[in-house]
């Protein structure tokens, strides 16, 4: 996956975020989104206890007690606030975060997400993934279309452990945008020069095609 | 100041087999001085409740290397390869808890609440063996409160009564842990006169804090460096 494809995904998700929304960004491609928001202002929430997270500081301003959930140094935006972990997850679980943008290992055709564990490997980390899946008002998945070994990430049924019963609203890959409605997956946009037949080949999940895409 | 003790005396409050609530998100907000003292002691069979197990050989990672631990409960251990190894050899018991459930379980532990129903993890592997109940058409699972024998927390400053304020995102789990253990020991960078904090600014009121220990670590270039 090239950097330009990662940027394409980040830019497309950035279009989905609305002025003034509270947004939690997962690790990987989601962390690139702030670079593509233009003049649009959103409030980034970090689950270790910060609302109003700003960009990476200059080296001389790094403070390892002002960090993101990925444990990377960050800064404050104007109007930022600090709170403890239980308050932070009150925000997340209680439906006060407008959008969570998360990576995924697999997403099934109903929108159920697996993003915390690989079968057969030691499972010793979940972090805030399940809380975000359960609680954010909207869930957008930003992910490569297939996994590193070429196997489909968009599957008919999850073979990786589920992150929760709550379904994603949308997934953006380097090839396409899909939306999930009432347990069904819809192709709403094509983002590369891929044909629909080629897209079907690399997508195990069944999807319907919106008229405007055909 | 009445609550100030040496770190040597402080760890005498910990007994073999105790459950310790230890603040911090990675190394930030982690009581590194107290952890060092435990690692140098012969305390054993400790169970640590903390978001992570520090990093390899750093922070709580030191207790694993030193052999003080029986188990760990937290949300993310993958970044400490020592923890993964110890677990796969059967030398460390690990209970994996979603981060928000961990924070809420400790909050409940300090608030006199025995358990709570959460939708986080319902229907997943982490819900196995837990009671599921439907409220308003949605599945929730029963999680029990978590309490500790001793809480080891890190604050920026204490006043002479023991009121605490925290440094930026180093707050994380510390304020809830301060409420949920029989004995609470706070490691701080500085002690100031009572009255120095505006009441509005106090995050942890002093009644939660039993003992204060001075932090031996200083920050240089934004990172922790041991000063002695």
Closest partner CB to A64 (pick from B118, B174, B222): B222
Portion of chain A with pLDDT greater than 70, in percent: 100
Closest partner CB to A123 (pick from B96, B119, B222): B96
**pLDDT at B222 (0 to 100):** 86
Q: Does B197 touch chain A (CB under 8 A)?
A: no
Local confidence band at B39 (pLDDT 50, 70, 90 cut-offs): very high
**pLDDT at A151 (0 to 100):** 95
Closest partner CB to A126 (pick from B84, B126, B172): B126
Q: Which domain holds residue A188?
A: 3-213
Local confidence band at B68 (pLDDT 50, 70, 90 cut-offs): very high
> Does residue B139 lie in a domain region?
no
Closest partner CB to B84 (pick from A92, A124, A135): A124
A25: closest CA among A112, A122, A129, A153?
A: A129
- Give the residue, B227 or B207, on which the prediction is more confident: B207
- What residues pair up with B88 in beta bridges, in sequence order? none
> Does residue B140 lie in a domain region?
no
Query: For the segment A69-126, what is each residue's pLDDT rounded down to a tens digit?
Result: 999 999 999 999 999 999 999 999 999 999 999 999 999 999 999 999 988 887 799 9
Q: Does A65 touch chain B (CB under 8 A)?
A: yes
Contact state of A126 with B96 under an 8 Å Cβ cutoff? yes
Question: Other CB atoms closer than 10 Å to residue A2's CB: what's the count?
Answer: 8
Contact state of B87 with A122 under an 8 Å Cβ cutoff? yes
**Among A105, A111, A131, A132, the residue to mutate for chain B (most B Cβ within 10 A):** A131
> Does residue B81 lie in a domain region?
yes
- Listed in sequence order, the DSSP H helices in B24-116 are 32-39, 61-66, 81-88, 99-111
**pLDDT at B152 (0 to 100):** 98
- Give the residue, B223 or B20, on which the prediction is more confident: B20
Q: Does A201 touch chain B (CB under 8 A)?
A: no
Query: For the segment A126-142, what is each residue's pLDDT rounded down to a tens digit?
Result: 999 999 999 999 999 99
Distance CA B98, CA A48 (A): 13
> Does residue B222 lie in a domain region?
no
Closest partner CB to A86 (pick from B94, B122, B176): B176
Point out the least confidently predicted range of A14-18, A54-58, A197-201, B219-223: B219-223
> Does residue B103 lie in a domain region?
yes
**pLDDT at A123 (0 to 100):** 79
> Does residue B212 lie in a domain region?
yes
Which residues are CB-contacts of A63 (< 8 A; sequence separation ≥ 6)?
Answer: A57, A73, B168, B219, B222
Task: Compute the radius of gyration of chain B from its Cα atoms.
Answer: 18
Query: For the segment B172-214, what is each residue's pLDDT rounded down to a tens digit?
Result: 999 999 999 999 999 999 999 999 999 999 999 999 999 999 9
Whether the Cβ atoms of residue A115 and residue A102 lie closer than 8 Å to each other: yes
Local confidence band at B105 (pLDDT 50, 70, 90 cut-offs): very high
Question: Other CB atoms closer than 10 Å to residue A61's CB: what's the count?
Answer: 11
**pLDDT at A163 (0 to 100):** 98
**pLDDT at B227 (0 to 100):** 78
Residues of A classed as catalytic: 47
Q: Which domain holds residue B171?
A: 7-115+146-216
With a cut of 70, say whether residue B56 has pLDDT above it.
yes
Window 119-158 of A, Cβ < 8 Å to B: 122-131, 134-135
Local confidence band at B226 (pLDDT 50, 70, 90 cut-offs): confident
CA B212 from centroid of its chain's CA atoms:
15
Q: Which residues of chain A are within 8 Å of residue B104 when distances are taken between CB atoms?
A: 86, 89, 93
Indicate the number of domains in chain A. 1
Query: For the segment B111-141, what is each residue's pLDDT rounded down to a tens digit?
Result: 999 999 999 999 999 999 999 999 999 999 9
Burial B52-85 (b: 16+ CB within 10 A, else e): bbbbbebbbbbbbebebbbebbbbbbbbbebbbe
DSSP string for residues in B103-152: HHHHHHHHHT--EEEESTTTTSGGGTTS-EEEETTEEEEEEE---EEEEE
With a cut of 80, say whether residue A214 has pLDDT above it.
no
Q: Which residues of chain A are within 8 Å of residue B82 when distances are taken between CB atoms?
A: none
Q: What are phi and psi of B156, to 5 degrees?
A: -75, -55
Query: For the segment A141-165, what is each residue's pLDDT rounded down to a tens digit?
Result: 999 999 999 999 999 999 999 999 9
Minimum distance, in Å, between the CA of residue A11 and any CA atom of chain B: 28
In A, minimum Cα distance to B83 occurs at A124
Distance CA A42, CA B132 (A): 36
Portion of chain B with pLDDT greater than 70, in percent: 100
Contact state of B176 with A84 under an 8 Å Cβ cutoff? yes
**pLDDT at B228 (0 to 100):** 62
CATH number of the domain where residue A98 is located: 3.40.1080.10
CA terminus-to-terminus distance, chain A: 26
ipTM: 0.96
Minimum distance, in Å, between the CA of residue A212 and any CA atom of chain B: 35
Whether the Cβ atoms of residue B111 and residue A96 lie closer than 8 Å to each other: no
> Does residue B127 lie in a domain region?
no
- What residues pair up with B187 in beta bridges, in sequence order? B154, B213
Whether the Cβ atoms of residue A122 and residue B87 lie closer than 8 Å to each other: yes
Distance CA B146, CA A189 (A): 47
> Does residue B133 lie in a domain region?
no
Which residues are CB-contacts of A79 (< 8 A; sequence separation ≥ 6)?
Answer: A43, A52
Local confidence band at B102 (pLDDT 50, 70, 90 cut-offs): very high
CATH number of the domain where residue B197 is located: 3.40.1080.10
Question: Other CB atoms closer than 10 Å to residue A27's CB: what's the count?
Answer: 15
Indicate the number of domains in chain B. 1
Q: What is the mean pLDDT of residues B80-92?
A: 93
Query: For the segment B148-177, what is each residue's pLDDT rounded down to a tens digit?
Result: 999 999 999 999 999 999 999 999 999 999
Would you call A191 helix, strand, or coil by DSSP?
coil
Q: Which residues of chain A are within 8 Å of residue B167 when distances are taken between CB atoms?
A: 65
Query: For the segment A21-46, what is each residue's pLDDT rounded down to a tens digit?
Result: 999 999 889 999 999 999 999 999 99
């Amino acid at each position: 996956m090239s950097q330009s494809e990662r940027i394409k995904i980040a830019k497309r998700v950035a279009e989905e975020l609305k002025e003034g929304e509270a947004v939690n960004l997962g690790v990987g491609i989601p962390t690139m989104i702030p670079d593509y928001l233009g003049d649009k202002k959103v409030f980034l929430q970090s689950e270790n206890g910060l609302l109003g997270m700003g960009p990476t500081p200059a080296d001389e301003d790094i403070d390892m007690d002002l960090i993101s959930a990925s444990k990377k140094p960050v800064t404050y935006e104007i109007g930022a606030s600090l709170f403890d972990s239980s308050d932070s997850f009150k925000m997340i679980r209680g439906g006060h975060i407008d959008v969570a943008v998360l990576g995924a290992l697999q997403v099934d055709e109903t929108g159920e997400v697996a993003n915390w564990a690989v079968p057969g490997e030691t499972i010793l980390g979940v972090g805030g993934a399940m809380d975000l899946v359960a609680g954010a008002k909207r869930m957008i998945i930003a992910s490569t279309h297939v996994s590193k070994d070429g196997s489909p990430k968009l599957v008919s049924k999850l073979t990786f452990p589920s992150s929760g019963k709550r379904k994603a609203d949308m997934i953006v890959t380097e090839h396409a945008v899909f939306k999930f409605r009432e347990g069904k997956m819809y192709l709403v946009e094509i983002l590369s020069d891929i044909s629909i037949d080629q897209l079907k080949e690399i997508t195990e999940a069944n999807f319907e095609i919106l008229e405007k895409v055909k | 100041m009445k609550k100030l003790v040496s770190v040597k005396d402080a760890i005498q409050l910990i007994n073999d087999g105790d459950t310790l609530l230890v603040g911090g998100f990675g190394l930030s907000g982690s009581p590194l001085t107290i952890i060092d003292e435990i690692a140098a002691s012969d305390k054993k069979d400790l169970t640590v409740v903390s978001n992570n197990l520090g990093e390899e050989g750093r922070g709580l990672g030191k207790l694993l290397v030193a052999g003080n631990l029986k188990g760990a409960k937290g949300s993310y251990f993958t970044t400490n390869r020592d923890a993964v190894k110890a677990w796969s050899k059967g030398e460390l018991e690990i209970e994996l808890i979603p981060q928000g459930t961990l924070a809420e379980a400790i909050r409940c532990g300090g608030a006199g609440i025995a358990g709570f129903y959460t939708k986080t993890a319902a229907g997943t592997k982490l819900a196995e063996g837990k009671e599921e109940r439907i409220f308003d058409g949605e599945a929730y699972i029963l999680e029990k409160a978590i309490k500790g024998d001793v809480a080891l927390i890190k604050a920026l400053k204490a006043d002479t009564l023991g009121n605490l304020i925290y440094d930026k995102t180093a707050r994380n789990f510390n304020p809830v842990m301060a409420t949920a253990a029989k004995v609470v020991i706070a490691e701080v960078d500085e002690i100031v006169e009572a009255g120095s904090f505006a009441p509005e600014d106090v995050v942890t009121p002093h009644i939660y804090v039993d003992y204060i220990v001075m932090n031996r670590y200083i920050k240089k270039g934004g990172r922790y460096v041991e000063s002695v």
